[in-house]
Amino acid sequence: MYDVYAIRPDFPVLEQVVYLDNASTSQTPRPVVEAMNEYFFEYAGNYGRGAHRLAQATTEHYENARESVASFFEADPRNVIFTKNTTESINIVAHGREWAPGDRVITSAIEHHSNYLPWVGLSSYGVVLDLVDANHEGIIDPNAVEEKITDSTKLIALSHVSNVFGSVLDIDQVIKIGRKHGVSVLVDAAQSAGEIPLSMKKLAPDYLALPGHKGLLGPQGTGVLIIHDPEELRPTILGGGAVEWVRGCDYELLDPPARFEAGTPNIPGVIGVGRAVEYVKTLGVTNVEKHVTMLARLAAKQLAEIENVTVYGPENRIGVVSFNVADLHPHDVSMMLDETNKICTRSGYHCAMPALLSLGLDGTVRASFGPYNTIEEVNLLTGAVGLIATSLV
């Protein structure tokens, strides 16, 4: 296990606040910021184009980042595409596949809008959505997914970990079900990448969509899409850097992944993500998983003991705790936590409105943990919530 207190100086802002909004975006450690600074100050050029030394150095660093990310997820680097966030990764799949009227997509009623609206949007092609229900703790039964499959089902798109409940989906089982029925599977790993070991070798979903800026501790504006068979997907954005040649109106795409990365990419961001996965590797993903699980379960247990506090989600949660304090609006609670103790939590629908509405909720307060959070911070949170809750009695 790594020493939590020893890594905290890598995240200077933690001296000022109690940062418990990691499910939204994480803090970025010094070595990652330094790697990005190095790009700006020492070799900034464009990627994949130009024979001069800076362009070459940039291309080499960018491809090294791809190798690092590929190795982190045990994927073929040719299958790793850099995007600007998980949302873009999912949309590349939604708009890159061929759809016919009557095709069906299975997703769930508790998805983040980013793994929901891209499929809703396919209705313009005549694609029909089938929603799997989760139970009141945000748990989805893989058998319920299988029951939704019909001859017209083309894709199952589900999140690995719910950003509202912290519940974990048995994705191994869902991928097996998809394979058995010849249906593609997209795993939205926004809340698990960097916090649960994920291997394209062992897991082999058709698509793995993930952020660089959450569990991987990379900078904002970065995401990754890993595609099992990139030849099957049409690039949604065409332009410079994605083609072998253009003559008149004819053109030939470059091999993947370049064909999916037209235009100048977020070069410093990608270099940051490359450094960030190395950082997470030194912590050990399994250690991070144990740590954020321990913190989330401790917080949930302590919060549940407070009168007037309702905690949502299963006991076996990872990383995330959603709760409410009596009838107080979640935004008010979140603001009080910030004002009284500089505790940063998220409040509202967490971009998963259908999930919260299905529970009859107008939102929750959400505390989410990262590898640098401590038990003392959990105690500060639950102490502060306790004071708010008891002031109502």
Ligand X SMILES: Cc1ncc(COP(=O)(O)O)c(C=O)c1O
Residues found near ligand X in the complex (CB under 6 A): 23-24, 85-87, 112, 114-115, 159, 163, 188, 190-191, 211, 223
Return the number of the residue (112 or 228) whose C-beta is nearest ligand X.
Answer: 112
Phi, psi (deg, nearest 5) at residue 375: -60, -35
- CB count in 10 Å sphere of residue 240: 12
9-48: burial string, b at 16+ Cβ within 10 Å, e else = ebbeebeeebbbbbbbebbbbebbbebbeebeeebebbbb
What's the closest the beta carbon of residue 161 comes to ligand X, in angstroms? 7
User: What does DSSP assign to residue 266?
Assistant: -
Tokens read off for 382: 């639950």
Closer residue to ligand X, CB minimum distance, 175 or 210: 210
Q: What's the min distance (Å) between Cβ of 159 and ligand X?
A: 4
Nearer to ligand X, 86 or 382 (CB): 86
| Other Cβ atoms closer than 10 A to 298 | 16
Nearer to ligand X, 320 or 381 (CB): 320
- Residue holding tokens 């502060």? 384
Tell me whether residue 351 is one of the annotated catalytic residues: yes
- The CA-based angle 316-319-320, given to 5 degrees, is 85
Task: For residue 108, give the H/E element and its range.
Answer: strand 104-108
Minimum Å gap between C-beta 330 and ligand X is: 16
Q: Minimum CB separation from ligand X for residue 291, in Å?
A: 19
Which one from 177, 258, 292, 351 is the annotated catalytic residue?
Answer: 351
Q: Which is nearer to ligand X, 45 or 348 (CB)?
A: 348
Asked if residues 164 and 366 have their Cβ atoms less than 8 Å apart, the reply is: yes
Supply the minimum distance, in Å, between the C-beta of residue 184 and ligand X: 18
Tokens (6 digits) for 371: 């590898």
Place of tokens 């603001």: 335
Give the catalytic positions in this structure: 351
